A and B are shown apart, each in its own frame.
Chain A
Amino acid sequence: AQSVTQLGSHVSVSEGALVLLRCNYSSSVPPYLFWYVQYPNQGLQLLLKYTSAATLVKGINGFEAEFKKSETSFHLTKPSAHMSDAAEYFCAVSMEYGNKLVFGAGTILRVKS
């Protein structure tokens, strides 16, 4: 069965600092990979997705992620954190037609002023 591991349930950065949220998946076959963001009292919103077209994926709000098959990783980064980035971030993987998503446990990002 697929699994997704997000290292760090909480990450705290200063405003303007680099954001790095880690995600590793368990699969020998390149899957579809997603990052979702959940703001307080709101639904999940797609940030970006990897579907084998390019290993470096750019998403909304200045976020990007790089697919590294050798490391089975799909870490999310943003060069400069903004206060509005404070939210919970979920990495998810899907393998097959049917698109059943398997989520990681989530990482809560706190941005300090």
Chain B
Amino acid sequence: GAGVSQTPSNKVTEKGKYVELRCDPISGHTALYWYRQSLGQGPEFLIYFQGTGAADDSGLPNDRFFAVRPEGSVSTLKIQRTERGDSAVYLCASSLDPDGNNEQFFGPGTRLTVL
């Protein structure tokens, strides 16, 4: 079966612009996670969804970042008024449910570059 997919694979934008990053999780996975990986660092948690609702958004750095999952499947991470510091690889992962025992399956990521 298909794994987690993310589009676009690369996104270059100018400072101040708005961007949307898309994640298609594995079918049937109820939990979906967003992480951000800056150069030379490990992934950092941003937000996770259980179904349609954001169960934990404590990792979102500020109110320019927002994510939705309206039908409990595809999720979109939205960044307003992008800044150069937002440049990173944005990773999406999904798991069967949020139990800590379950493996998270990661997508290939979207590399965002803000000029």
A105: B residues at CB distance < 8 A: 40-42
A94 at the interface (CB under 8 A from B): yes
Q: Are A44 and B91 in contact (CB under 8 A)?
A: yes
**Is A43's CB under 8 angstroms from B100's CB?**
no
Interface residues in A64-113 (C-beta closer than 8 Å to B) = 90, 92, 94-106
> How far is B95's CA from A90's CA once the two chains are assembled, in angstroms?
18
Size bin of chain A's contact surface: 20 to 34
Minimum C-beta distance from A93 to chain B (A): 10
- Find chain B residues with CB under 8 A from A94 CB: 100
- Please state if A99 and B106 are interface contacts (CB–CB under 8 Å): no
Q: How far is the CB of B73 from chain A (nearest CB, A)?
A: 18
A98's partner among B48, B108, B109 (CB-CB below 8 A) is B48
Q: Is the CB of A43 within 8 A of B98?
A: no
Across-interface contacts of A106 in B (CB, < 8 A): 40-42
Q: Are A98 and B98 in contact (CB under 8 A)?
A: yes
Q: Return chain A residues, CB-CB under 8 Å to B42.
A: 4, 90, 92, 103-106
Among A31, A94, A96, A100, the most chain B Cβ lie within 10 Å of the Cβ of A100
Q: A44-B93, A90-B43, A98-B98 are in contact. List 13 more A-B contacts (CB 8 A).
A: A31-B100, A43-B91, A43-B108, A44-B91, A46-B103, A96-B100, A97-B98, A99-B33, A99-B100, A101-B35, A101-B43, A105-B41, A106-B41
Listed A/B pairs (17) with beta-carbon separation below 8 Å: A43-B3, A43-B109, A44-B106, A46-B103, A49-B103, A51-B100, A97-B98, A97-B99, A99-B48, A99-B100, A100-B45, A101-B33, A101-B35, A103-B42, A103-B43, A103-B44, A106-B41
